[in-house]
Chains A and B, each alone.
Chain A
């Protein structure tokens, strides 16, 4: 994406600035990752207005709980994605969200996957999606349920009526495919 003005820092610098509560850190994080985080959140909650609210909350949470990030346990961006996913999944499972979006109850989410893709996958990702689905659609489905739909892997196993071991394997295989693709 064309972004000459956007701020980009190394991960170490970012972590240091974030811990020091320097606003440049949150600006850099926003410039670098807001799109990816919104993509994850939107795929979970399905509504762009709610998704943007949750994106705000995500950045506030990242800002306020920077101290709880431990770089020895994982990458900063992964931590941020997990913050965003947790906020979105909490919202998805909250009573008010479920009451106002009855047709998006957890039970129905699997039926939505295809239609959701139509709505939210942008042109940039078509190639990727084609790649993933072409290779192993069933692997990809399990990964997406967990990564984008708010399922736990146990719930995904129940939903797909598969042994837990199979679900774990499929997730691993899907990620292996991704690694191959991105490397």
Chain B
């Protein structure tokens, strides 16, 4: 009893209640309080006095603060701080967090509007691009057709040019004989040119220098060589205003005194129909 009274009088219990003791001193006081009811009672009396002192200095908080606290407590456990420092942090973070989520929703709304606008613009652009693509495809198709036409023309012109060069070469070459066939009584206006290479036995009909009446579909002209008084078939040809080839190679013959053309049935005849002979010309030596 005396011991506890002396202990109480040191003032350590007041310091204990005021939180002024270090951990070891606190444990000592707590151990004493457990053992000695007087000390426990004394601590309790000091606590009540300090509590009353605090209550007598009470200041009512702003209305609404209560609500904020309850909201924070009711909020998910993520805002659970353990250290005072952490508590201090959450005190500032929680409203910020709310603001941030509100601003995030706002941002998302703007983003949504922007996305819709972008979608509309993209659709228009895509449609217009689609149109232009169609047009471009059509242009490409027509250009491609044109190109094919030109290629055909070029190829035709090339062939023609080749034939013309050959004609020019034949005219300049003394080994080639040019045989001019003149019109007969039934077609006095007709005329035609045949080139003959005696040694090589080549025979060519020059379409550029041909002036024969156009044959119909059932008939064809047939070229004959007069070899020792006998007609030899050199093949058939058509007389056209737009000939496909300028120079027409015929069957070969090595010895001929004259060339003649008769109008025969399509495909030619074995022997010439003499009354249908349109042009004839002798080989000049």
Contact = CB atoms under 8 A, between A and B. Distances in A.
Nearest to B53: A178
Contact of A72 (B34, B62, B69, B91): B34
B69 A30 contact: yes
Contacts of B241: none
A49 B33 CA distance: 39
B87 A57 contact: yes
Contacts of B58: 35-36, 38-39, 124
Contacts of B74: 23
B174 interface: no
Contacts of B68: 56
B20 interface: yes
A111 to B, nearest CB: 20
Interface string A156-183: 0000000000001101100100110010
B53 A56 contact: no
From B34, B49, B59, B85, residue with most partner A Cβ within 10 Å: B59
A52 B58 CA distance: 13
A9 interface: no
A182 B48 contact: yes
Interface string B50-78: 11111111111110011011101110000
B70 A40 contact: no
A61 interface: yes
From A1, A30, A74, A121, residue with most partner B Cβ within 10 Å: A74
Contacts of B17: 74, 78
A23 B73 contact: yes
From B12, B17, B56, residue with most partner A Cβ within 10 Å: B56
B24 interface: no
A86 B84 contact: yes
Interface string A40-72: 101100000000111111011101110000001
